[in-house]
Structure formats: structure tokens, C-alpha cells
Structure 1
């Protein structure tokens, strides 16, 4: 009798639960408002993005198909003549070889930043002081850096004075030949952007759980083993991002060489050449085509790198 009563009670309860009325759907006005609300928050950023990014890019594409001088109100359509001129004139495309100096400097910069970030991620004396020293150059304005190092590399300047203290006599013009000038400018780039990569690497390293280091130490792993099997795989996404930024930055160098040499002595970069075409020689159409070519090259390099090094999820456990 008891079992029968319990089964009946369970059946009654189940039936009551199954027949309970489902919540009424929200009114149509409420549902519409919920769908519109996210877009209301996106109106301002999307408007700024379109106004200051996509609209200028569209205008640049349109100008690249004309011979506009940047002043005349009339635009004459010439098709792909500007692009043909860029790829057929050796002097216009040769400036990309200058980017090779900055690519090498970027590799040195990434290695140095990764080294310092790894060292200072462990318990080292005065590590906060060294963090500030490494990151400080990135906070300085590029124009100020250009003027400072302009006096640093001049004849009888700071560099020559320091070398004389160590008994090294130097009578060379550091910015006088293409090789020495580009090497000097690339060195300035390393000094300036080392702090940015250092902070990116340091943040990625410190995000790795500390338990992994403790387990590695219990297994007898030294610092090199920890770097190879824990740190390097753990910061792979940040390392990939840093390489992409370094390559794109190497192809679009402008501030420091423009301030220090103005593109003279074989230091003219692609961006300096584009600025000169537009504002010195009045060839805005050709300059726009050059900017489009640079944009496409950067996108192509980024796409190739993402294909070669996919952004896989990192699992260190």
C-alpha cells in the first residue's frame, strides 16, 4: 500500500511539473530593444572607425587611380599608371632595401627584449628599477629622440667623446655613408622600441601559472629548461604578434630617419619617399598608389606569417 501511494505521489508531482505553465514571452517592444541596445553602444566607435580609417583608405584608393597634385580641384583618371610607374621605376622601389636594416634590428630587438623579460620575470634584485629603465625610452616622443641622437652621432658628438674616453679615436661621420647611417638609425630604433616588446613579453611570462615553475623545479629543471618548455610555448601568441608588429614597423619607418637625415645619404624609407612625393613634388596620386602598395605588402606578409605560424591555443598542463 505504501509503495503504491509513493508512486502515485511521484506521478502526481511529475504531472504537475510537466503541466506547469511556461513563462510568457517578453513583449515585442522589449525584444526589439534588447536587440538594438548593443548597436547603440557601437554607434560612436563604428562612426569614428569609418570616418578616420575606412573612409580615408577608400579615398586613398580613389586618388591612386588619378594624377591629382593635391591642390587642383579636378581629378583626372589615369587607371593603373601610377602602379605601373612604382614597379617599373627602380628608384621608387629600391627604398625597400633600406627596410632590411630595420628588419635585422627588429630581430635583435625581439631577442634582447625576450632575454630581459625572462631574466626580470624571476626574483632579481632591483628588477623594478631595470623594468623602468628598459621601458622609459618608449615613452619619449619620436621627434625628441631624433634630435637627441642627431647630436649623439654628429662629428665630435657624444658617441665620439665616449669612445675617446676608452682610447678609441674615431674621425668617421656616423651619418655620412649609407651603411653607417642606416646602421646607426636602426640602432636608435632598437633602443626606442625595446621597452614595448619587453613589456609585452613580461606580461605574457607573468601570466603563466607559478605552479608550473614549482613543478619544473621539483623535477630538476634549470632556468633554460623552464624557458624552453614553459616560457617559450606559453608566450607563443604574444611572440607571433610581436613579429608581425616588427615586420610592419620595419616597412613603415618614418619619424627617426626623417628627423635625423631627412632621407639623405641613402636612408630614405618608403614612407619618407611617399611623403616627399605628395608634399614636395605634388604627386599625390602617385604617393597614394605607393601607400596602397605598402598596405598590401604588409597585409600579405601578415597573412603569410599567420599561415605559417597559426595562432593555436596554448596548453601547458
Structure 2
């Protein structure tokens, strides 16, 4: 064997050692395995949150629906099936639904809250001095625990307290029963909700406004548009889906108000909401079955109102260019 032949043989041997192993079959099993892995991978990531969602949301809702067909008192080990008697009791007593009138105060406050949040989000989206500081100050109330907010405003609304002192500085004298007068209690509580939740809406609006391409503002400035015209023709149409979402959350939230009035007044002086009434039925009058039926009715109302809102205000896709 010549030197050339030896070189070719050694190169051929090295190539055979470095070559990948031949695939068995036609390659379909490996392709099918990759497809199965691609399908299962998202579900592996979703396993934990779905387990928590089912365990702490859907299963309790299913139990609540089951309780609504019983006369359980919340303590007894036995539960008697009563059919639709709890729902009949709710329907035949319209006074139980009069508490929804209180939700009107919170719905009106939600409109004010959305308007203020939209104003501050628009102002802070432009080049404003100390805008990061103002963002933090406006968003901070949402981070405070609701119980703490309730106790703070209990002192704020005391007769001859902080609010009355501030009013005297501008010439309004006298002691006001902000939480004791039925004409003042609900507006006062609704004002607390405006202070607490406005920052959340502001952040939602601010994030949507900052997604608007800057060249739209530049083109508007070249055409001589002022701030109001930029808001009317650029900002408002661009964030319309977020505004619609905020109104949907406002309506559902006004129907399910609980912690602020419960902590500050306990539902007294005409401030009782539907949720407070439901809690009292369950834990004060030991009517867990009736309270569960009441909660199911509230859930159905919220879902129905949300569906109607989505039909009246369909989701629109905004194209920014």
C-alpha cells in the first residue's frame, strides 16, 4: 500500500468515526416526539396556576352553588336539601335588592375616578417636572391595605376631626356627621374609593398612552395641535379599549363593594351593600344557604351586566401608525 493509499484510508476512517449515527426508520418517530413535547410544554408551565385557580376559585364556587340549595347554618354537620326555596325567598322579597341603590353612589364615584385617572395619566405622559414622583404619590393609595384605609378615614371623617378642620380653614364652620348622616355617609365612603383606586386606573391609562408611537405627537405638533387636540384625536381613540375595560370593572366593582363600608360603618346609616347583606346573612343570622344563593345571584348579575356591556361596546382593535 502506497503512502497516498494509506492517507486516504486513514481519512476515510476518521470520517466514519465523526459521522453521526444513522437514524432508525424514516425519522417519523422523532418528529412525532418533538410535536408531543411542543404540545405538552405550555401545559407544564400552566399546571401550577391552573391547579391554584381550580382549587381556590372554581371548587369554592361549585360548593357555594351546592350550599345555595340547602338550609345549612354553617355549623351543623348535616345539610337539608330545600331545592330552589332560597332563590324563591330572594325573589319574593324585593327589599333585599334595594341595597343595590347604594351601589349607585359607588358607580358615580367610579366615573369621577376614571375621569381623574385619565386626566393625570395624560398630564404625566408629557414632559412634566417631577412626573415620576407624582406617579408614585398617586399610585401609593392602591398599595395600602383596605383595612388600614378604612381606619385612617374613620379618623378623617370624625366630627370636628381632620376634614372639619380643613373645611374651617376655607370658612366652612360646624361639625358634620360624615358617617352618621345618611345623606353624607354614602358620598363620603364613595369618595374614599375614589382616593384609593384612582391610581390603579391611572397606571392602566398611562401604560396605554406610552404605547402610542411618538411620531404621531410630532406630526400633530407640526400641524399646530395643542394638548387638548392631541388628547382628543390621538390619545382618546388610541386607548379606547382600556377605557372600555375600566368602565366594565367600575360597574362590576360598584356592585361588589364590601370592605370600605363594612369597616367604616358596618352597613349602618343606609350604607349597607349587597355583599355586606350577604355576609350578615351567613355569619350573623346563620343562614349560609340563603347567603350562598344571594352570592350566586350577585355572580349572575355581574356576568350578565359584563356580557351586556361587551355587546354594547364591542372590543375594537386600534391600529397605531
TM-score by length of 1: 0.90
- Alignment partner of 1:198 is 2:202: yes
Partner of 1:5: none
User: Which of 60, 65, 79 lines up with 2:83 in the alignment?
Assistant: 79
1:303 is aligned to 307
Aligned residue pairs: how many?
295
Question: Which of 204, 207, 212 pairs up with 2:211?
Answer: 207
Q: Deviations over 1:247-276 (max 9, x none)?
A: 111111111111100000010111111111
Residue 266 (1) aligns with residue 247 (2)? no
CA distance in 2, matches of 1:229, 1:197: 21
Moved more, 196-205 or 157-166: 157-166
CA distance in 2 between partners of 1:48 and 1:133 (Å): 33
| Structure 1, unaligned runs of 5 or more | 1-22
1:26 offset after TM fit, Å? 3.8
TM-score under structure 2 normalisation? 0.88
Unpaired runs of at least 5, structure 2:
1-25
The Cα of 1:30 is off from its aligned counterpart by 4.6
For residues 200 and 55 of structure 1, the distance between their equivalents in structure 2, rounded to whole angstroms, comes to 31
Which position in structure 2 is the counterpart of 1:11? none
Give the distance between the partners of 2:110 and 2:285, measured in 1 at CA: 32
2:225 aligns with: 221
1:60 aligns with 2:64: yes
Q: What is the rounded CA distance, in whole Å, between the counterparts of 2:158 and 2:137 in structure 1?
A: 25
Structure 2 equivalent of residue 51 of structure 1: 55
Q: CA deviation at 1:29?
A: 4.5
1:132 is aligned to 136
* Cα deviation, residue 216, structure 1: 1.0
Alignment match, 1:141: 145
CA distance, structure 2, for counterparts of residue 104 and residue 116 of structure 1: 19
Q: Per-residue displacement from partner, 1:212-244 (whole Å, max 9, x unpaired)?
A: 100111112111111111101111111111111
Q: 1:279 aligns with which of 274, 279, 283?
A: 283
The equivalent of 2:16 in structure 1 is none
Note the C-alpha offset of 1:42. Answer: 2.4
* Corresponding residue number in structure 2 for 1:25: 28
Aligned residue in 2 for 1:180 = 184
2:113 to 103, 109, 116: 109
1:153-194 superposed Cα distances (whole Å, 9 cap, x missing partner): 111110111112222212221111222000000000000001
Counterpart of 1:15 in structure 2 is none
- Residue 75 of structure 1 and its aligned partner are, at CA, apart by 1.3
